[in-house]
Chain A
Amino acid sequence: MVFIIGAGVLKVGDHWEKSLRNLVTEVALAALRDAGEVPVDYLVVSNSLSGVINGQENLGSYVASHLGIAGVPALKVEAANASGAAAVIVANSLIRSGEAQRVLVVGVEKMTDYTSLEDSNTAVSTLIDSEYEAFHGATLDSMHALVMREYMKRYRINREDFSHFPIIMHENAVDTPHAQYRFKIDLNTYMSSPLLAEPLSMMDVPGLADGAAALIISSREEGPNGNAKIVSFGQATDRISLYSRSSIVEMPSIRAALERALSKVSEFKPDFYSIEEYSSVLGYIAVEELGLARRGEAYKLFREGEARRDGPIPVNPEGGSKARGDPVGATAIYQLAEAYLQLAGRAQGWQVSGARRALVLSIGGLGSNSVVHLVEGV
């Protein structure tokens, strides 16, 4: 069996005074402290953009060096916004195979070391197809915009129907100490927000952010501050180019990842959902693919408040990528760290009351790589 026995999260945002190495070191030490200063015998780093943004690759040895544990085997795992979830799959497998007893998984992204917004757009565009999408001027935002326009047309809904999603995300993040945007927004904020790529506006997507989160994963239930069991996981890919998919308002990789995760357990009824959503429309599609709403009707779940933290189907009780923030390669580690804190009853102020089981969905590259983790408090 595999357990999360400790975690650390840094506040998501602009850490101009900290470098890539400061961020990873600080959060890894916090997680080690949380887990009772246990030794680790493997290090898995989760990151997506350090090569293009920071000019730094070889993150396994980079992090091991700065943590003073050089000698420990280490590697980096990348799967766009799902990098962290993929890193946990690797850690989990290392433990199940007997190769490791305890693995430190640290996710990091240092996105704000830019001289201009254009350069950050270029970096994020590496998550879509570079030769036949990004080369033609497509950005991650414009790809989500294409999905949003198609979704609006297919299901006959308006731009304002997307507002319910960020409104609830921001409402949740107010209580999350490590969230990037701890303020509320309303319909007017949403409708007057500047367009990034029509019809997608700034309020549909996360902002740029630095962030780092870490987990200690162990073969034993030994965390002094609480433990959570990784019950199961599933992963699936889809074609990377949007234009080569048969439907752009469905994300079959999410469905397949969910089926694979569920196929390994007899029953799993989540008390809350963590969904990595780069945009409002992707949040809606994810909710539909998970079977929580019929196609084209996810907005009702948010409009009626069912998806609120105190509702019957809580989604992203910490505020999600939109408001907690989305430091790409670290985001899924945040998701799993938050799930652990919830299940250990340690999410003070943003706790889903009585949460015992969590479904964590991480989505990379606009549904081209999806991972579902099923996690349970012990």
Chain B
Amino acid sequence: MWAYWVSVPSHWREIPARYRLEGGICKNCGHTMLPKEDVCPSCGSRDVVTKQLPRRGKVVNYSVVWNAPRGYEYYTPYVVALVRLEDGTMLLSQLTDIDPSQVTEGMDVEMVLRKVRVSGESGIIAYAYKFRPLIKSD
């Protein structure tokens, strides 16, 4: 019954945003967004162009999900977070590679590509961004 929800074309057309954080920037007001919209949600301008968003950011807020929808039960408990990227773009993502009890507001995170859900026997395995604690290289 949920086939429409993560059908192949519906996932495929979101791949630029989901695999590599390709978003948009409004040429009128500078607002950045994910995904790229046809109309700027901030000022209403239609002059929005594609922008590669940064892969690093900070956790602004989060919730630990214990009661999951179909296709996500396997990951329970998992963390959904509001993440502010380095250029100020806000998005919602799962956090990964971290115990839920270790998550803190303000923690630095970076994007990785991970499996997000599997939909049934006939469905596809959908990959997309998740964010993990930033591994300092110095």
Contacts and interface: CB of A to CB of B under 8 A. Distances in A.
Contact of B80 (A131, A138, A248): A138
A23 interface: no
Choose among B68, B90, B94, B105 the residue with the greatest number of A CB atoms under 10 Å from its CB. B68
Nearest to A141: B67
Interface in B64-94: 64-73, 75, 78, 80, 82, 90-94
B1 A137 contact: no
B70 A119 contact: yes
B69 A125 contact: yes
Given A52-B1, A243-B82, A132 B62 contact: no
Contact of B128 (A135, A139, A199): A135
Interface string A166-178: 0000000000000
Contact of A121 (B69, B80, B100, B117): B69
B69 to A, nearest CB: 4
B35 interface: yes
B44 interface: no
Given A136-B92, A138-B92, A239 B41 contact: yes
Contacts of A133: 92
Contacts of A116: 70
Choose among B41, B64, B65 the residue with the greatest number of A CB atoms under 10 Å from its CB. B65
A39 interface: no
Interface in B43-76: 61-73, 75
B25 to A, nearest CB: 14
Of the four ranges (under 10, 10 to 19, 20 to 34, 35 or more), the interface on chain B belongs to: 35 or more
Contacts of B68: 118, 121, 137, 139
B6 interface: yes
Contacts of A122: 2, 5, 69-71
Contacts of A242: 82, 92
B94 A150 contact: no
Contacts of B105: 153
Given A133-B92, A136-B93, A243-B91, A118 B70 contact: yes
B38 interface: no
A16 B73 CA distance: 26
A195 interface: yes
Given A52-B2, A153-B105, A197-B64, 19 more contacts: A116-B70, A118-B69, A118-B72, A122-B70, A130-B5, A131-B14, A131-B35, A133-B92, A135-B6, A135-B117, A136-B92, A139-B69, A142-B63, A146-B80, A146-B82, A196-B66, A197-B66, A242-B92, A244-B90
Interface of A: 52, 55, 116-119, 121-122, 125, 130-139, 141-142, 145-146, 149-150, 153, 194-200, 239, 241-244, 248
* 9 A-B pairs with least C-beta separation: A145-B63, A198-B64, A121-B69, A122-B69, A118-B70, A196-B67, A142-B63, A243-B92, A197-B63
21 contacts: A52-B2, A118-B68, A118-B73, A119-B70, A121-B70, A131-B14, A132-B34, A135-B6, A135-B117, A137-B68, A137-B72, A138-B92, A139-B68, A142-B65, A149-B61, A197-B64, A198-B100, A243-B82, A243-B90, A243-B91, A244-B33
